[in-house]
Amino acid sequence: MIPIRDSIPCYNRPVMTWTSMAINIAVFVIMLFMPASMKQTFVFLYGMVAARYSHPAWAAHVGFSDDHYLSFVTSMFLHGGWMHIIMNMLFLWIFADNIEDRMGRIRFIAFYFLCGLTAAFLQYTFNADSTIPVVGASGAIAGILGAYFFLYPYARIIIWIPLFFLPIFFEVPAIAFLGFWVIIQLKNVTDTFVNQGFADVAWWGHLGGFLMGAICYRYFLLDDRPEPGSESGSEG
């Protein structure tokens, strides 16, 4: 299921949302023009490699410098492929503008980074021995979804089911769409934890970002912004 748009109007220009999207896209485009070896080095240096911090002797042996956990931040602006960045930017475009609308620009970007850092830390905690770089804005975006889940549970989300690329569209409440998204994350986290197998998606990061967003969003809201409840107007 791919979300296309939502039904909640946005009253202010989501400058921070657009800026975040622009930075993510710009970094992705720059990486496209890197030679393969340079790109691999770039991803390992600026993606979050958990073993870099849990096994400092190994990190020093393979050439990692002490970046004081900077990669927990920089990894939020790297993406591993076209589908990765397209889906992340689509979710950011649809859901983040309304959250920025309620928080204001400064509080929103602080909330964004808090959720992203929490996601990276939880992924690190449960995969401390991993030598695979974790990249992507998914953790921060998951935090936005956590806020949206509680602020706009009855917003209408238009979703596309890409069955043989046919135009099959449905309208569902946000609580159903995001609830299903959470169930998927829980299932995959459980499978990874029980089977102790390799996962090419940072499921713990997704879940951690969502939980942080759901728990702390209320502390970032501005009092003078419109209350949720309207379900018509311009798309997200």
Domains and CATH numbers, the chain: 2-220 (1.20.1540.10)
pLDDT value for 136: 95
* pLDDT at residue number 74: 97
- Give the per-residue pLDDT at 196: 62
Give pLDDT, residue 38: 95
The token pair that represents 199 in the structure block: 């996962």
Give the span between the Cα atoms of 122 and 48, in whole angstroms. 12
**Among all chains, which residue has been given the structure tokens 């009253």?**
11
The predicted pLDDT at position 123 comes to 93
Of 135, 155, 164, 126, nearest in space to 232 by CA: 155
What is the Cα 133 distance to its own chain's centre?
Answer: 16
Sort strands 2-6 and 156-160 into parallel, antiparallel or unpaired.
Answer: antiparallel
pLDDT of residue 236: 40
Match 């929490």 to its residue by tokens.
118
Q: Which positions of the chain have pLDDT values less than 70?
A: 194-200, 225-236
Strand order in the sheet with 2-6: 2-6, 156-160, 169-173
pLDDT at 162: 82
- Write down the pLDDT at residue 199: 60
Yes or no: say if 90 and 162 are a contact pair by the CB < 8 Å rule: no
pLDDT tens, residue by residue, 105-155: 999 999 999 999 999 999 999 889 999 999 999 999 999 999 999 999 999
Select from 34, 65, 35, 33 the least CA-distant residue to 49.
65
